[in-house]
Amino acid sequence: MVKLCPFCRLARWGYRVVIVPPGVTLAENTVRLLREFAEAGGVVLAIEPTPTMINGRPTDTPVLPETTRPVRTDTLPDVLDELLPFDVRVPGRPAVWAHHRRIGEADCYFLANTDLDNGGVATVQLRGMGRLESWDPATGEVRPLPSHQNDDVTEVVLDFPPLVSHLLVLHRAQPPAVIEPTAERVVAEVTLGDTWELALGGPNALTLDTPQVRIGDEDDWSKPIPILDAHGAIAKAGVGTIFALRFTFDVSVCPANPIYLIVESPARFDITVNGQPVSSDDVGWWTDISFRKVDVSAVIQAGRNEIVLSGEFTGDTELESVYLIGDFGVTERRVGEENRYNGQVFDRYAPDFRVTDLPDRVRGSNKPDRLSVDLTAQGLAFFAGRATLRQIITLPALDGRTVLEIHNLRAAVAHVRVNGQQMGTVAWPPHRVDITEGLRTGENVVEIELVGTLRNLLGPHHRAGGDLAWTGPGDFRDKSHWTDDYILVPFGFDRVTLRASES
């Protein structure tokens, strides 16, 4: 057995190899256990840099046994292969990680390609022989896999595109299934056009997060500042302070009614829009039960618009961004790509958004640094919801199996419909759906419903470089990375292809 942690009873528990993580500080008791383990014939591997402290203090005494073998992370798999018979491995694919559990007479293996950009076909080697199956957790489908078995090792060839995983089950008590591998021959491949009809499953939004502030008896408004800075300035003035926030935005084309202003706790404020009082009574919620809808349909106008929220600061007042929602588009100016990190793409937009007509179709871009279809850059900068892209294509009679693939999907989930029939849902690569049953000769209606996230609506919008490994409250107020521009993520895909094949 191999243990990736030194804090155990080691040899007496049957461990043959212990791996000491890099740069740890060891307790005195752990140091003693490691020495006992090495004296009993166990192998201690230490990933560089090796520990130099005991109980958190530097020491001149050797921390690890003399027989400890230093290793690097990249050489660790090869060293373990020297010392131990492998349990499961994928030669040449270090990014494919494996998890093995034994349940009765069955061995369950979960293998995942952790590389966000690269992948391909790989040979998986499993210790043991029997009937090998592939289980699909999304559909429940179980199918036997063709494999090569020899010398108590089962080998199977699997495809591991970026982020793809496989769940395998090896039944040791059952004989291997005799399956002839089948090769499919591609008979037709079609790339769909770059113009799509667009329909939204809910209202579009404009985020307003940089108000001007007026505190107490001041006559003049401040310059526009981030909403959290506005909250801080008013809070500093103290409980009981009278304040006002003024948000402004431009409208090129006045949208159709209804138009709602989204405010948290609107009853706390007196609200005016373009100088006209608006009732603080909300008419329900949107997206979150704290986001209350205030009808401002009657007072929105073409040109410059002004929203003023005024009130008295209390101990539990929280000043937040407000949002305008309705059937409108939002023009924007993309400055360029901001960053790529951990599979995510961040784009920078100038802070000059404007309300305009809602687009009824979108077109692909041929620029090398852009998604072909990016709804964020085509009127939906702050959209949070579902958007359906529709296209009519004419196809000849196709024999065999036809698969639709969405390349480089930038959405949480995509639902695929053909001629009104639900074909499938994709959430991870490869984004492929079998649409054979939905197709017909001649005209076909292909619909892709993209399900977005709240990222572009709620932010963080102003952290230069984008929100990286995780997002916390600090990302919304990090002045060391602040930008007045808006950092948004794409929403769309590169292209859509149909591939017809036969066995």
Looking at every residue in the chain, the average pLDDT score rounds to 91
Residue type at position 503: S
111 in Cβ contact with 168 (< 8 Å): yes
Q: Please check the confidence at residue 132 and state whether its pLDDT lies above 60.
A: yes
Report the pLDDT averaged over residues 318-332: 96
What pLDDT was estimated at residue 4? 41
Q: Please check the confidence at residue 79 and state whether its pLDDT lies above 80.
A: yes
Report the pLDDT averaged over residues 358-362: 94
177 in Cβ contact with 144 (< 8 Å): yes
Where is average pLDDT lowest: 40-54, 217-231, 315-329? Answer: 40-54
Residue type at position 84: L
Q: What are phi and psi of 237, to 5 degrees?
A: -70, -20
How would you classify the pairing of strands 334-341 and 131-135? Answer: unpaired
Residue type at position 144: P
Where is average pLDDT lowest: 95-104, 145-154, 179-188? Answer: 179-188
H or E element, residue 99: strand 96-103
Report the pLDDT averaged over residues 320-340: 96
Q: What are phi and psi of 339, to 5 degrees?
A: -170, 160
Q: Please check the confidence at residue 254 and state whether its pLDDT lies above 70.
A: yes
Q: Where residue 74 falls among pLDDT bands split at 50, 70, 90?
A: confident
Q: Please check the confidence at residue 107 and state whether its pLDDT lies above 50.
A: yes
pLDDT higher for 176 or 361?
361
What pLDDT was estimated at residue 400? 85
Q: Where residue 76 falls among pLDDT bands split at 50, 70, 90?
A: confident
Q: Please check the confidence at residue 286 and state whether its pLDDT lies above 80.
A: yes
Structure tokens at 129: 């022989």
Q: Where residue 368 falls among pLDDT bands split at 50, 70, 90?
A: low
Report the pLDDT averaged over residues 99-121: 91
What pLDDT was estimated at residue 8? 43
Q: What angle do CA 455, 195, 407 make, to 5 degrees?
A: 55
Q: Please check the confidence at residue 245 and state whether its pLDDT lies above 50.
A: yes
Q: Please check the confidence at residue 499 and state whether its pLDDT lies above 60.
A: yes
How would you classify the pairing of strands 413-418 and 106-113? Answer: unpaired
CATH architecture of 88-181: Sandwich (2.60)
Q: Where residue 166 falls among pLDDT bands split at 50, 70, 90?
A: very high
Q: Where residue 393 falls among pLDDT bands split at 50, 70, 90?
A: very high
Q: Where residue 5 falls among pLDDT bands split at 50, 70, 90?
A: very low
The alpha carbon of residue 124 and the mean position of all alpha carbons in its chain are separated, in whole angstroms, by: 28
Residue type at position 289: I
Q: Please check the confidence at residue 199 and state whether its pLDDT lies above 80.
A: yes
pLDDT tens for 412-448 read 999 999 999 999 999 988 899 999 999 999 999 999 9
Report the pLDDT averaged over residues 157-177: 91
CATH architecture of 195-201+360-502: Sandwich (2.60)
Q: What is the DSSP string of 436-474?
A: GGG--SEEEEEEEEEE--SHHHH---SBTT---S---GG
90 in Cβ contact with 125 (< 8 Å): yes
pLDDT tens for 170-195 read 999 898 877 776 667 778 889 999 99
> 204-326 has which fold?
Jelly Rolls (2.60.120)
Sheet of 204-208, strand order: 204-208, 322-326, 260-264, 288-295, 285-286
Rounded CA-CA distance 286/203 in Å is 10
